[in-house]
Chains A and B, each alone.
Chain A
Amino acid sequence: MNVTDEKINGFNVLFVKDERIDAHNSTVLKDYLLHMIEQGEVNIVVQMEQVRFVDSSGLGALLSGFKHAEAKSGKLSLSNLQKQVLSMFELTRLNRVFEIHRDLDEALEIDN
């Protein structure tokens, strides 16, 4: 799993560089998020512009991060979802759980 994180306006923006999140790499994403949250970085935006494909384990990894951030009074939101990836959140109603932003500017403005 190829991810980088960057602090922007007080938020931790996690850039997922892989095109695909499935059961082969989703555990790495999940553990990366949990490690950030354990370090006290609880306000996270996951930027998913590069992600063309996500499966149920990928959604599960993001949901895990969301719940752990929420439990520490933080928030995990998403930005730059491709059309088909967004449709997976809609199909599972997870679009009602996550804040999903069009782009990073929107995500950071709203969060601020």
Chain B
Amino acid sequence: MNSSANFQIDVVIPTQTKYLNLIGSIGEHIGKDLEDFTGDREALAYHLNLVLTEATTNAIKHSNSDDPKDTVRINIDIQEHELIIRVYDHGQGFNLETIPKPDFDHPKEGGMGLFFIRTLMDSVTYKNRGDCNILEIRKVLL
């Protein structure tokens, strides 16, 4: 993949964790194939796998559990110098700003997913768009 190959991947999955491997693997392949990325591509591939896995897990957790036909949409937009991940859920939503950072001196089992997204990517927003919520994650590719 070179920098002129701007493209998008759009996937809609049922709200089931068995699809996490598929979604994470897409991120891993994208990371490994970004030939113009000058940093550590193996690390980027892992990070994209992780961030997509965490974001999709989060969307599944926040999905409408009363609806067996509920879905999560994942859109990956690869531009010349930026990668944008958008994850759409139909749940109640949450306030991104109120989620605390993990306490490393007293580690707990939960709460590390969003920390990974915030730490490994460049920006994260979560917005309600009426019929769904959108978690948008941006990573500058240089």
| A contacts, CB < 8 Å to B | 20, 22-24, 53, 55-57, 59-61, 63-64, 84, 87-88, 91-94, 96-97
A22-B57 in contact given A53-B24, A60-B112 (Cβ < 8 Å): yes
A93-B104 in contact given A20-B21, A55-B113, A59-B112 (Cβ < 8 Å): yes
A56-B113 in contact given A84-B46, A92-B102, A92-B104 (Cβ < 8 Å): yes
Which chain A residues border B94 with CB–CB below 8 Å?
none
**Contact among B17, B50, B108 with A24 in the assembled complex (CB-CB below 8 Å):** B17
Which chain B residues border A57 with CB–CB below 8 Å?
57, 113
Chain B nearest CB from A101 CB (Å) reads: 20
Pairwise interchain contact A24-B109, C-beta atoms closer than 8 A: no
In the complex, residue of chain B having the shortest beta-carbon distance to the beta carbon of A63: B109
The count of A-to-B residue pairs whose CB atoms sit within 8 angstroms is 66
Pairwise interchain contact B49-A53, C-beta atoms closer than 8 A: yes
Expressed in whole angstroms, the Cα–Cα distance for A20 and B24 within the complex equals 10
Expressed in whole angstroms, the Cα–Cα distance for A53 and B47 within the complex equals 10
B33 CB-CB contact with A under 8 Å: no
Complex interface residues of chain B between 17 and 52 (CB less than 8 A to chain A) = 17-18, 20-21, 24, 42-43, 46, 49-50
Complex interface residues of chain B between 79 and 119 (CB less than 8 A to chain A) = 102, 104, 107-113, 115-116, 119
Pairwise interchain contact B57-A23, C-beta atoms closer than 8 A: yes
| B contacts, CB < 8 Å to A | 17-18, 20-21, 24, 42-43, 46, 49-50, 53-54, 57, 60, 102, 104, 107-113, 115-116, 119
Which chain A residues border B111 with CB–CB below 8 Å?
56
Expressed in whole angstroms, the Cα–Cα distance for A31 and B65 within the complex equals 23
Provide the main secondary structure of the chain A interface. helix
Expressed in whole angstroms, the Cα–Cα distance for A16 and B17 within the complex equals 19
Chain B nearest CB from A31 CB (Å) reads: 13
Expressed in whole angstroms, the Cα–Cα distance for A3 and B14 within the complex equals 27
**Could you show 13 A-B contacts with beta carbons less than 8 Å apart?**
A20-B21, A22-B20, A22-B57, A23-B17, A53-B24, A53-B46, A53-B53, A55-B50, A56-B113, A60-B109, A61-B109, A87-B46, A92-B104
Kindly list the 4 A-B residue pairs having the minimum CB-CB distance in the complex, ordered from nearest: A60-B109, A56-B112, A24-B17, A93-B104
Expressed in whole angstroms, the Cα–Cα distance for A87 and B50 within the complex equals 12
In the complex, residue of chain A having the shortest beta-carbon distance to the beta carbon of B109: A60
